[in-house]
Chain A
Amino acid sequence: MRRTITLLALLAAPILTAGQVFAADPPKPAVAAAAAASTAPAVPGLWLLTDYPSQTVRPGEATTIRFKLQNSGIAPETLAVSVDGVPAGWKIELMGNGQPIAAAMAPTNDSVALQLRVDVPKDAKPGSQNIVVHAKGATQSIDLPMTLTIGKEVPAKLAIKTQLPSLIGTSKSSFDYTLSVTNDSGKEMTVALAAQSPGNFQTTFTEGYGTNEISSLPIEAGASKDIKVKVRPPQEIKAGDYPVLVKVSAEGATAEQKVTLQISGQGALSLTSKDGRLSGEAQVGKTADYMLVVGNDGTAPIENVEMSGSVPADWKVEFNPKTLPSVAPNEKKEVKVSVTPSEKAIAGDYVASFRAGGRGDSKSADYRITVTTSTLWGMVGIGIIAIALLVLLGAVARFGRR
């Protein structure tokens, strides 16, 4: 009982000190107050301080208890530190900066961090053990009593949450969900990451802003880490909502978070000819008809598909029908295109570009048109030769002599 009171007094001392400082000089600016607190503490003295004087330890494990030696306004002094009341079989060591120590010295108005490494044997019986940390100098001697309770292991616990559980995109986009995983248990754990997704979805995990794909990551006790889940739906997927269950698990503890992909459909027009051949013939000045096929390889219907074409100068191009009201996914519609080369066109190959443009997508196809000229002038040439031969025959008939 008396120990508890001593402990309370020790704990209360710094709080009271700070309170007195601020209470004494309320109008002083904060910086001046802080300076006053560090240079001229109201309660001079030497303390051993720890956050949790009563702690839980587990059998078969090593627990590190942090405490410090605080010097407030007195001259530095070497203090021999020791631990009293170590139960049989236990191993308690005083550590400073990771090394076993036997003495500590705190500068004036400063503190020295110390650790108590407690090795509890596996067969330790449940119950509480009281230990006292002593610090003893030439003029000063202080104690820090602590209570260590053999406790059961706190079960591992994980939590996972996300700010944006539902994202919208098309079948071509990738969905990035940022999730924060918290380790609520008393020790560091390696957390395995998994995702349950429908069909052929591709899920990859990356850490925070990293680029490396991971399958698990270590999280310190009480800490949380951000992971990123990238979900890629298959391109041919239909529009709709798709849930993905992200699961984290470690040492029996699991947590899961459902994220949703809202895939909106997207149309993808295709434009080709009926037999796949993108070339044709046309005679100068005469209309040639080609059959085009407008298709939709996408996942959503495309509405109001308008046909247009660009042809060489003075050529004519007409589409029948000119507009398709709607092209459903996997539907193919035929469009007749009539191309009339100009009267003055020269024989040879030309490029005509046909375009199908609807709401959301458009596609164009280059069509190679071989223009042929009429054979009429060839006939005229033969006629001219025939006339020349007739002239010759006429001469033979007129001038032929015996």
Chain B
Amino acid sequence: MQREGSPFTGLGPVFIKELSDHLTSVRMMVLTLFVIVFGAFPVASSLQTLRTVVGADAYLYLRIFTIEPEQVPISFITALNFIIPLMAIGLGFDSVNSEFNRRTLSRVLSQPIYRDALLLGKFLGGLMTLAVGLLALWLIVFGAGLLLLGIPPRGVEVARAFGFLLVAIAYGGVWLSVSMLFSVVFRSTATSALCALGMWLFFFILWPMIANALVLGFAPREITTVDQYVGIQQLAIALQRLSPGTLFSEALLGLLNPETRTLGFMLPQQMRGAIPNAPLPLDQSLLLIWPQVTGLIAGMIVVFAAAYVVFQREEVRA
């Protein structure tokens, strides 16, 4: 049965309603608090460290994000790598099945709103909420930097930091679509939350170990040539990159550390003649991290497509 009109009819109201629901919810307050505590603490510590550093640094503002302060052994981006998934899962794990459990889903869909628009509106609403939270955090970081460092950031620093914000939103989008997939698949909100958090824990704790074990399994007994060694290293990196967390941290490394020349494995002879610590131009850094960003965006879309397919085939009447 062919539908009439655009599938996006009703997208706007769903998006607005979802956004207002999120922003006024107690959950959002808790998540915001969570983000501020987790994000502001490393930033404050790194600013303390940076203030004691003497010497010109062309990318001083970017160091706020990347340096590991002395007091807290965690940098801002490590903290974000940890809390963005948590935030995204918290926003998305019950987006569809809670409506179903409250029996409001069929009521909504009886309106002139397609399922497509509902799911996309919910996703975009969650993503927007996430973006608002991250933007606030980003502005806090810059404001604190201005206050405590007393120098304005350069244009290229702002550009790189803005790129960081976009990558962070894309990373949150991946986890948001994952948690929405589970909220579509499972009727119980507890199950979907558990599955999403389990996946998060799997990629954070278990996957690096499994990847190592796989590499050891694939590796020949004795490594005799350089090519073999390079092959094994590349396999290890490729396996690690299946985790969105790895893609996120690599992308941030390329963006916020302009000195980063490559994210992959590199032979010493490729470094011969290279000027150490020479920063890459912004466009080259963007080219460097583009595969990672592509992976994040494409992964987000593919998981969302999967959630869409499942949702379309679901019985919504409770």
Contact = CB atoms under 8 A, between A and B. Distances in A.
Interface of B: 1-4, 7, 114-116, 261-262, 266, 269-275, 278, 280-281, 283-284, 286-288, 290-291, 293-294, 297-298, 301-302, 304-305, 308-309, 312-313
B270 A345 contact: yes
B284 A347 contact: yes
B1 A402 contact: yes
A252 interface: no
Contact of A385 (B7, B272, B294, B309): B294
Nearest to B301: A388
A222 interface: no
Contacts of A253: none
Given A381-B294, A399-B312, A401-B115, A313 B269 contact: yes
A347 B273 contact: no
B287 A346 contact: no
A378 B287 contact: yes
Dominant secondary structure of chain A at its interface with chain B: mixed
Interface in A317-365: 342, 344-352
Given A314-B269, A381-B291, A399 B313 contact: yes
A389 interface: yes
A376 to B, nearest CB: 10
B30 to A, nearest CB: 32
Contacts of A388: 297-298, 301-302, 305
Contacts, number: 109
B294 A349 contact: no
A401 B287 contact: no
Nearest to B310: A399
Dominant secondary structure of chain B at its interface with chain A: helix
B310 to A, nearest CB: 9
Contacts of A62: none
A288 to B, nearest CB: 15
A313 B269 CA distance: 6
A384 B312 CA distance: 24
Contact of A312 (B272, B301, B308): B272
Interface string A363-380: 000001010110101100
Interface centre among B2, B3, B275, B304 (most CB of A within 10 A): B275
Contacts of A347: 261-262, 280, 284, 287-288
A378 B280 CA distance: 17
A315 B272 CA distance: 10
Contact of A373 (B269, B284, B308, B309): B284
A389 B302 CA distance: 8
B257 to A, nearest CB: 12
Interface stretch (A9-17, A296-304, A390-398): A390-398
A313 B115 contact: no
Contacts of B281: 370, 372
B46 to A, nearest CB: 26
B301 A346 contact: no
A111 B297 CA distance: 119
A388 B2 CA distance: 24
Nearest to B285: A347
A42 interface: no
A402 B3 contact: yes
A375 B313 contact: no
16 contacts: A344-B270, A345-B270, A346-B270, A347-B261, A351-B274, A351-B275, A352-B273, A372-B284, A373-B287, A375-B287, A377-B291, A388-B297, A388-B302, A392-B305, A400-B3, A402-B114
